[in-house]
Amino acid sequence: MSADDVVRILAAPHFCDMTRSNFPNSLKLASIIRNDCQIRRFVHNQIIVREGEYVNSAFLVLSGVVAMLPPSDTSSESLARISKERPSTFSSVLQWLRRNKLPEVRDSVAGIPSAGSSVGDRLIEHLSEDVSKNDADTIRLIDGDIFGESAVLGRSEMTNTVVALCEVEVLEIRWQGLRDIRKRESGFKETIDNLYRERGLYYHLMSVPLFSNLSTEKIRELASVALFEVHGEFEWQKDFQKVSKQAKTEEDYNRIIESEPVIALEGDYPDGLLLVRNGFGRISRYINFGHYTMGYLSHGGMFGLEELYDAWKNGKATTLHCSFRALGYTDVIRIPTDWLEINMFSENAPETTKVALKQALMESRPTQLESNTKPVDRKLTEFLVENRLINGTASMVIDLERCVRCDDCVSACASAHDNNPRFNRHGKSFGRYMIANACMHCEDPVCMIGCPTGAIHRSPEGVVKITDSACIGCSTCANNCPYDNIRMVEIRDASGNVFAEPNGKPIIKASKCDLCAETSATPACERACSHDALKRIDLKDITNLTQWIDR
């Protein structure tokens, strides 16, 4: 960003009201703008960000008008995604032939001040139809308005597609810059936090199947009475890493469960319906002087509906059958009981509402690991929850009884990454199954917290990547990863000489699995296994997991 651009942004809405003396000399506001912000330009009907994508930035409208489309519009043919082309097979073979013979070879060691843009690498996409027509559910944003804050702060997917309605300029603020400004400007922090709660609440309610048949007016009415709650710590990995290393006995695990923030306690009367917006929650019961994990809830899950409905139907209060505790950082929306009784449970409710309620009651049980043929060992459920492995969207699961230790998976990974394997074939095990030390591309990637340059970021498709040229080797991401899936490696030149600091200390970079995002097919490790012993699995996808286990 040029010096003139920085001056312009300092005079823009929100920035012009900031007190510059709140920022220390080591991190001046102008420096944050220069290093963590970019001015982006879009034309009429061009998509800025898309519903369902992950972003690493919030956006401030500088000029023009943009439309924030309601979630349902994303199913329209006009929003059909343009698939990103992978390199051809010929290109992949050529890349393999040109690979370096030595590990971790780099042309240079220079880092760049910023990386991980939310829109910089995406394809230019336009709507096939004009969305400038009036729509009660479409929100129009003008100069000074902000969007994308909910996805950034919640480390979650975008709930809306945002489209330019004319020639538009927006300021992209990387989450590192957003974090630094919020720390020092209470007014800006309050603005962002209010948007996070209001928009996050409204659009999440629109996406809940139980409320899918409600009118816009009813959704707004519900949003006005619902409560937004946050449980747990944003940087939960620090405490988790500490206690997980100390836990060895059943008593230790009971103490861990009891230390988790309680959202609702077994035996208490339910105080409204709980909806999980972001994060994870443990469902447990107290049996024989111990806590037993019955399952878990993640984004879109609900807790307490069965008890609330039974109490209304029988005219007698019912206590909660299980406890609900936050696993890490959990956003919850609480729906008041009286609103549910009037609008959802009542005999006078529309037939479509009754159908949605019946379906929700059937699906309101917490996620448990069971297949169509037999239940999976409850201990496996506890293993996945205790180790927070349910966070992984692409975990490497290895069947140790099928694995012949040929290391073809490691060799294939190295071949796909310039002779640099990106994972270690060891990790936590449960019986015959091992979760290897390969990046799991987490739903809540806490490894990104604290990266000073934004080198580690998440692509719109959800792949957690490291921009090598932006990595300064600080090891923050490796230290933050709760699963030890990021390695710090020494880098060298083409002759094999290790790059070093002036004091002789080797220069290091972060290295991890990138799901072979730049190759022509599925992950090389999975493709190379001829014994069906390795699978990349979203550990929240119970059907996929149990089908593979029962194969």
472 & 537 share domain: yes
**205: which 2 tokens?**
């309610």
Give the domain-ending residue among 313, 338, 363.
363
Residue 313, pLDDT > 90, answer yes
195 & 239 share domain: no
138 & 264 share domain: no
Report residue 339's pLDDT band, with 50, 70 and 90 as the boundaries: very high
Tell me what pLDDT residue 63 has.
Answer: 97
- Yes or no: say if 36 and 173 are a contact pair by the CB < 8 Å rule: yes
Identity of the residue numbered 179 = R
**Does residue 337 form part of some domain?**
yes
199 & 240 share domain: no
Tell me what pLDDT residue 74 has.
Answer: 44
C-alpha–C-alpha distance, residues 311 and 285, integer Å: 20
Tell me what pLDDT residue 372 has.
Answer: 40
Q: Over range 235-248, report the average pLDDT.
A: 77
Q: For 279-320, give the DSSP string.
A: EEEEEEEEETTEEEEEEEE-TT-EESHHHHHHHHHHTS----
**Does residue 301 form part of some domain?**
yes
Residue 80, pLDDT > 60, answer no
- Which of 193-202, 232-241, 349-358 shows the highest mean pLDDT? 349-358
**Does residue 338 form part of some domain?**
yes
Residue 15, exposed/middle/buried by CB under 10 A (0-12, 13-18, 19+)? buried
144 & 232 share domain: no
**Does residue 215 form part of some domain?**
no
Q: Over range 249-263, report the average pLDDT.
A: 85
- Yes or no: say if 278 and 294 are a contact pair by the CB < 8 Å rule: no
352 & 466 share domain: no
**Does residue 368 form part of some domain?**
no
pLDDT in tens, 405-436: 999 999 999 888 888 889 988 999 988 999 99
What CATH number is given to the structural domain containing 312? 2.60.120.10
- Yes or no: say if 171 and 38 are a contact pair by the CB < 8 Å rule: yes
Report residue 117's pLDDT band, with 50, 70 and 90 as the boundaries: low
Tell me what pLDDT residue 507 has.
Answer: 92
**Does residue 121 form part of some domain?**
no
**494: which 2 tokens?**
């083409």
304 & 385 share domain: no
Q: Over range 239-257, report the average pLDDT.
A: 77
**389: which 2 tokens?**
């492995």
Tell me what pLDDT residue 67 has.
Answer: 94
Please give the residue that has the higher pLDDT: either 108 or 56.
56
The beta-carbon contacts of 461-465 under 8 Å, at least 24 apart in sequence, are 461/53, 461/54, 461/84, 462/54, 462/157, 462/393, 463/514, 463/515, 463/517, 464/439, 464/512, 464/514, 465/514, 465/517
Instruction: Return the minimum-mean-pLDDT range out of 134-138, 170-174, 226-230.
Output: 134-138
52 & 194 share domain: yes
195 & 296 share domain: no
pLDDT in tens, 13-57: 999 999 999 999 999 999 999 999 999 999 999 999 998 888 889
Three-state DSSP class for 393? coil
Go through 75-91 and write b for each residue having 16 or more CB atoms within 10 A of its CB, e for each that does not: eeebbeeeeeeeeeeee
Three-state DSSP class for 63? strand
Tell me what pLDDT residue 288 has.
Answer: 81
382 & 481 share domain: yes
Instruction: Return the minimum-mean-pLDDT range out of 98-107, 176-185, 218-227, 264-273.
Output: 98-107
266 & 335 share domain: yes
> Domains in the chain: how many in total?
3
Give the domain-ending residue among 363, 389, 417.
363
C-alpha–C-alpha distance, residues 148 and 119, integer Å: 12
**Does residue 400 form part of some domain?**
yes
**Does residue 93 form part of some domain?**
no
Kindly list the strands in the beta sheet with 146-147, ordered across the sheet, starting from the edge strand earlier in the chain: 37-42, 168-174, 57-63, 146-147
- Yes or no: say if 98 and 494 are a contact pair by the CB < 8 Å rule: no
Domain assignment of residue 65, given as a range: 3-80+128-207
Tell me what pLDDT residue 199 has.
Answer: 82
Residue 475, pLDDT > 70, answer yes
Give the domain-ending residue among 184, 207, 230.
207
383 & 359 share domain: no
Report residue 551's pLDDT band, with 50, 70 and 90 as the boundaries: confident
Report residue 161's pLDDT band, with 50, 70 and 90 as the boundaries: very high
Residue 170, pLDDT > 90, answer yes
Report residue 374's pLDDT band, with 50, 70 and 90 as the boundaries: very low
| Cβ count within 10 A of residue 270 | 20
C-alpha–C-alpha distance, residues 435 and 384, integer Å: 10
The whole-angstrom distance between residue 159's C-alpha and the CA centroid of its chain comes to 12
Three-state DSSP class for 363? helix
In 190-308, which ranges are E strands? 227-232, 262-264, 273-287, 290-297, 302-303
Average pLDDT of every residue of the chain: 86
Instruction: Return the minimum-mean-pLDDT range out of 10-19, 66-75, 229-238.
Output: 66-75
Residue 105, pLDDT > 90, answer no
Tell me what pLDDT residue 27 has.
Answer: 93
